[in-house]
Chains A and B, each alone.
Chain A
């Protein structure tokens, strides 16, 4: 079953604008991760935020996490055509063994118009 749900399902913006994607989840987590997938390719890890963190930055990416609302957002600033891809949030809930795997949402398809 899906843990994370991204919103919106699709987003189209102009190059140079900022893109914001949201993710909601259902159970308590150890960390939340964002991945990018270009068409026909594998997923690429973008950023990880731990459950005790509220905000994290990496280059043009900014991730926030609100564990009280069980939600996260990914902001891509100054978007570029190369940012066109699908973006997935994934949550990690480790029961002790450490290898329980990530649970992915269905993704947001981002299109950057030139």
Chain B
């Protein structure tokens, strides 16, 4: 999607390795979010951020770390990857008002072997 970029698009990593998924948006949106999408579970919120240096846990934060030193970037780090973290990860952003839709990136398909 124009304006929000995720990288890499695909990633295969080994159990126990640290891996970082990148998310960059060009709209200066205050709010950014990380979701994971799994069959049978739909999308679940991992972490979100209201502004630079402000982050908070979502529904499934265990095993993940986020940072937001700049408004435009919101990287997601798996500290020690596990097979259960095999998933498709989506980053999203939203403007300041609560009645705005989210803009999603194209996703990162992560496989942990």
Contacts and interface: CB of A to CB of B under 8 A. Distances in A.
A45 interface: yes
Interface of B: 1, 30-31, 33, 35, 40-45, 48-50, 56, 58-59, 90, 92, 96, 98-107
A97 interface: yes
Interface of A: 1-2, 30-31, 33, 35, 41-45, 48, 50, 88, 90, 92, 94, 97-107
B59 A33 contact: no
A93 to B, nearest CB: 10
A98 B49 CA distance: 10
28 contacts: A2-B42, A30-B99, A31-B98, A31-B99, A33-B101, A33-B102, A35-B102, A42-B1, A42-B104, A43-B92, A43-B102, A43-B104, A45-B104, A48-B99, A48-B100, A88-B43, A92-B98, A94-B98, A97-B50, A97-B56, A98-B31, A99-B49, A101-B33, A102-B45, A104-B44, A105-B42, A106-B40, A106-B41
